[in-house]
Amino acid sequence: MDYSTVVDVFTEMEATSRRTELTELIVRLFRSTPRELVDKVVYLMLGRLRPEYEGVELGVADKMALRALAISSGLDVKRVEEMYVRRGDIGEAAEEALSRRVQGVLFRDKLTVERVYYTLERVAALKGQGSQDAKIRYICNLLNDAEPREGKYILKMVTGRLRLGVADYTILDALAIAFAGGKESRDVLERAYNLTSDLGLVARSLVDGGLDAVKAIRMELFRPIRPMLAERVASAEEALERMNGQCAAEYKLDGERLQIHKHGDRVKIFSRRLEDITSHYPDAVDAVVTGIRYRDVIVEGEAVAINQDTQEYLPFQELMHRRRKYGVEEAMREYPIALNLFDVLYVDGKVCIDLPYMERRRILEGLLVDGSSGSGGSDGGSSAGGGGRTVSIVPMIIADDAKTIEDYMFKAINEGCEGLMIKDLNSPYRAGARGYSWVKLKREYRSELADTLDLVVVGAFHGRGRRVGRYGALLLASYSRDDDTFYTVCKVGTGFTDEDLNRFYTMLSPYRMEHRHARVNSRLEADVWFEPRIVVEVIASEITLSPLHTCALNSIRKDNGLALRFPKFTRVRDDKSAEDATTVDEIVSMYKRQLKVTRQVHVGGE
């Protein structure tokens, strides 16, 4: 398959801001792709070579990519660097440099998708000393034969900057239309994707064996499952209503979610975003190897920073010190953790996800080497691992009245938790789904918003005064699952330290775009736009109607959306992906609840 076919479609994809058109383009591309390349084309479209959880990185720094570009174009490195600075985009610099190639354009071999993919695979595989020169040679090998517009995508890809802004769900739609007779088959594909987190695998199975092959896909050890997510409720009563009168109430710990896969003493840990974070948690690895009595398990839990002397839970921020490549051992001693398991997905050949909650909880409670029952409430879960509480089962009670839940929530908060997770006793583990089988109950809503929101950075405004040269304010958006779009809800300019401002600049630059992203809906014109990737947490005093923002536009009042009043930045949520942000629906219910509370306060005051 000619690489130029892929490049032509990518170019059109970048130019469109309509989701239906994006889907049609991908369908067209899939239909012109030979079977054995469909998975490769899926990965290339996502700017990767393999599913994200495998952590295959091309590892090419800008400098190295520019050197390759200089060699292939015959231009001076300085000149190529100057093009990069002027264009602000390495892909465009490549296009310009290659179109001014010094040597003639005769005798070039046409690039194929196969050649590009396998060459990039070699680039990714090169590690250690001397690998840089070899990487450059491989990249030059491609660039020498590349048309300028092909070179653009090759350089974007090797530097990790190829972002076409396609959501996973759009790719599933396109696969269903191209190979499975229409969108009706999408659920089957989505299920397989949720169990494997690998769109390439789903695509390949579909073209090789049809829908039956996709239906036969099972979860497997060391391949992460897309996590089950929770909705939010306002009160214990509402939680109970959602659960038909009886539920499990678990402590909601404020740490990092870990999905742990274990086979004997081989362990892998995946984050909520399915990155391999095993290296951050050698202590969690030890704890499950020594603390879990079965050979093969997949469990989920929350790692929380603790005070070693008092065994008290510490805030989420403390845990962030554990996110590092170097000095892990030292960080482990300085910031010890407790691991609290809250679900089990697989044990010794038995798939548990389709079992009801209570059944899974029973299995979970039997997992630990010296574990006893974790339910009943009084002192929480069982524990194992080196005598301390390194690995435990999260404390839980069964409740059927609001008072019991509220008392338990009070206890949880007093012990340093965020609140409670309320779970439906009969629900299976719904991989990749957010729903009311799990709901989170955080502190009560007052007329002032006590709760935080997680919002996506979609744009920014240049700073003034002390903030010149950095971003002065960020444009934040909520997420709508219905149409896979981000709707703006506030501009935030307070709560940042100087260090935060510098950090934002570097963190956001890779996602910078020339124009508004196709999945962003905004009435405001930002100075700079970003691909929706970075999630930040904010607090605010209340939610108000606003003609400036598009969140829930027209749904409460014509020509008005909802906005946050006095938003303040609190922290970056790099454990969340853009699609995990607070949703438009959640903001609408928060707004309605706030109205109710305000009314009560007024009535009470009169």
Residues that bind ligand AMP (CB under 6 A): 230, 250-253, 257, 272, 302, 342, 394, 421, 440
- 8 A C-beta contact, residue 236 and residue 413: no
Measured CA distances, 333 to 256, 322, 391, 402 (Å):
18, 10, 16, 41
Give 113 or 431: the residue with its C-beta nearer to ligand AMP.
431
Contacts 24+ apart (CB under 8 A), 404-410: 404/249, 405/236, 405/239, 405/240, 405/247, 405/249, 405/441, 406/236, 408/249, 408/377, 409/236, 409/249, 409/441
Q: Computed over its alpha carbons, how large is the radius of gyration of the chain?
A: 25
Please indicate whether residue 252 is annotated as part of the active site: yes
- 8 A C-beta contact, residue 568 and residue 536: no
Closest separation between CB of residue 537 and ligand AMP, Å?
10
CA neighbor of 459 nearest in space, from 389, 523, 553: 523
Give 46 or 394: the residue with its C-beta nearer to ligand AMP.
394
> Which residues, in sequence order, are CB contacts of 43 under 8 Å at separation 6+?
49, 50, 51, 117, 199, 200
Give 92 or 575: the residue with its C-beta nearer to ligand AMP.
575
Closest separation between CB of residue 526 and ligand AMP, Å?
26
Catalytic residue among 40, 252, 268, 576: 252
Give 258 or 332: the residue with its C-beta nearer to ligand AMP.
258
Instruction: Find the residue with minimal CB distance to ligand AMP.
Output: 257
Q: Which two tokens stand for residue 576?
A: 């969340």
Q: Which two tokens stand for residue 58?
A: 């091309």
Closest separation between CB of residue 257 and ligand AMP, Å?
3
Closest separation between CB of residue 66 and ligand AMP, Å?
40
Closest separation between CB of residue 388 and ligand AMP, Å?
20
Q: Which two tokens stand for residue 82?
A: 């100057």
Measured CA distances, 99 to 151, 156, 409, 514, 594 (Å):
10, 17, 65, 22, 59
Give 103 or 426: the residue with its C-beta nearer to ligand AMP.
426
Closest separation between CB of residue 580 and ligand AMP, Å?
7
Closest separation between CB of residue 442 and ligand AMP, Å?
8
Closest separation between CB of residue 426 and ligand AMP, Å?
16
| Angstrom distance (rounded) from CA 9 to CA 29 | 7
| Angstrom distance (rounded) from CA 345 to CA 55 | 23
Other C-beta atoms lying within 10 Å of the C-beta of residue 38: 20
Q: Coil, helix or strand for 394?
A: coil
Give 145 or 256: the residue with its C-beta nearer to ligand AMP.
256
Q: Which two tokens stand for residue 214?
A: 């996709």
| Angstrom distance (rounded) from CA 34 to CA 179 | 12
> Which residues, in sequence order, are CB contacts of 316 under 8 Å at separation 6+?
254, 255, 256, 305, 571
Dmax (CA) for the chain in angstroms is 87
CA atoms within 13 A on the CB side of 163: 19
Which positions are catalytic?
A: 252
